[in-house]
Amino acid sequence: MRRMSDSAGATQRVLVTGGAGGIGLAVTRAFVDDGARVHLADPDAAALAAVTESTEAVTGSACDITDPAAVTAMMDDLLVALGGLDVLVNNAGIAGPTAPVHEYAPDAWDAVVAVNLTGTFNVTRRAIPLLKQSPAASIIVMSSLAGRFGYPNRVAYATTKWGLVGFTKTLALELGPFGITANSIHPGAVEGERVRQVLRDRADVSGRTVEDETGRALANQSIGRFADPVDIAALILFLAGPHARSISGQMLPIDGDSKSAQ
């Protein structure tokens, strides 16, 4: 049965950043299947068009979230399309290169921080006034296993994912009085091309094979498989739903019981 967002029976209105591919696309599909209307913010115009043209329940804006003016324009589009906002899924993020700290290029650091931290801030600050008008609003922030452990050779990624934890906990404290929940989720390795590229990069740095790096990654988990994006989407759907109204300020791992970010 499809779930409605509030006691008045209004359809949930959802914003997903980076929603045209990967985990974001799985999240988009989960909300649509649940009866929601979704607006996407994604820099990939072609991928965005492919998703929005496939269903009337999804609209979108080609948007670089590091640009405050682009975020403002995207939020204007969202208001036209949805008329308001109940759920913000801060999913957009980039991994950056794989290199030890002393070899990590400053411009690469700046790029990761700009998307993962500043971009999330840009979107959230503009979304909060709309969320305050919702009777049951939620913010879900995509952190990572790297937001719980150190991550060798991925300094910018790990730093930003830890930073998102503090960001989320601050949101929970500030917005709780308005009935708005805020939680971070922490996936481990997620099945798909992105983790395959990470494993290739690790192999380049370590001198081991990709197969060896894959085995090491799976051996680091009690449950020896990479996470399914559909499962991550289901967790987000729950956190945005009626049975999670008392869950806020929490870090929720979905990582196969990983022991580190190795």
- Which residues are the active-site residues? 157
Which two tokens mark 96? 């950056």
Q: Name the 3-class secondary structure at 87.
A: strand
Which of 40, 55, 171, 155 shows the shortest CA–CA distance to 101? 155
Alpha helices in 60-209 (DSSP H): 68-82, 106-113, 120-131, 155-175, 193-206
119 Cβ contact list (under 8 Å, min separation 6): 17, 65, 66, 92
186 close to 140: Cβ distance less than 8 angstroms: no
